[in-house]
């Protein structure tokens, strides 16, 4: 939430870059020793395998994981079927992802943890939506050839790191206050 205010105010000073200049596609096979990560429109990339009890539903996964993709900490991941809704984020842990997801390796011009915030901005998601295509919204997909055309406002790497630190502290404070409110309500 804080990034939206911060980036709306300062993004016009930052260089607009196409994501194809910042990322290259990773297409490496996973293995059974890796946990399966997922991407949510609400929280970005999971830290680990999702717990069905926490989800409140059964998750059916393929027994054959040979087509799953290996991802590393810092890789950008998006669900090509839901990226237009915000299902995009950065892996914080090594793992593997569904073959329906796309992963990308950042270059040295981006700080992955900053990009986790920046790519989830309303203006970026709007552009992703515009570049996604399908017969109806329900069928929209963001393919790699469209992803590389998405533009994002990117400050210098030093600024990215500083902004990330501030935003992380603010997120921690917000989480603490939300827990406190939940505790008081109980």
Q: What are the extents of the domains in the chain?
A: 2-185
**pLDDT 10s digits, 131-180:** 999 888 778 999 999 999 999 999 999 999 999 999 999 989 999 999 99
Q: Confirm if 59 and 142 have CB atoms less than 8 A apart.
A: no
Query: What mean pLDDT is reported for the chain?
Result: 87
- Put simply, whether the predicted model's pTM sits higher than 0.95 gets the answer no
Lowest average pLDDT, out of 40-44, 94-98, 126-130, goes to 40-44
CA distance linking residue 96 with residue 59, whole number of Å? 16
Per-residue pLDDT at 3 exceeds 70: no
Per-residue pLDDT at 17 exceeds 80: yes
DSSP state string for 58-90: -----S--TT-EEE-TT-EEEETTTGGGT-EEE
Q: Confirm if 20 and 147 have CB atoms less than 8 A apart.
A: yes
Indicate the CATH number for domain 2-185.
3.90.220.20
């Amino acid at each position: 939430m804080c990034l939206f205010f911060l980036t709306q105010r300062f993004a016009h000073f930052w260089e607009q870059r196409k994501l194809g200049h910042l990322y290259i596609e990773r297409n490496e096979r996973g293995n059974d020793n890796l946990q399966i990560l997922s991407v949510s429109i609400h929280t970005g990339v999971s830290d680990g395998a999702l717990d069905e009890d926490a989800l409140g539903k059964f998750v059916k996964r393929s027994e054959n994981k040979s087509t799953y993709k290996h991802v590393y900490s810092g890789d950008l991941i998006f669900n090509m079927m839901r990226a237009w809704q915000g299902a995009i984020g950065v892996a914080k842990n090594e793992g593997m992802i569904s073959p329906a997801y796309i992963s990308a390796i950042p270059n040295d011009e981006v700080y992955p943890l900053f990009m986790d915030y920046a790519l989830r901005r309303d203006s970026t998601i709007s552009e992703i939506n515009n570049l996604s295509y399908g017969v109806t919204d329900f069928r929209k997909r963001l393919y790699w050839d469209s992803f590389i055309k998405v533009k994002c406002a990117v400050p210098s790497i030093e600024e990215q790191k500083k902004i990330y630190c501030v935003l992380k502290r603010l997120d921690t404070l917000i989480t603490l206050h939300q827990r406190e409110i939940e505790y008081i309500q109980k």
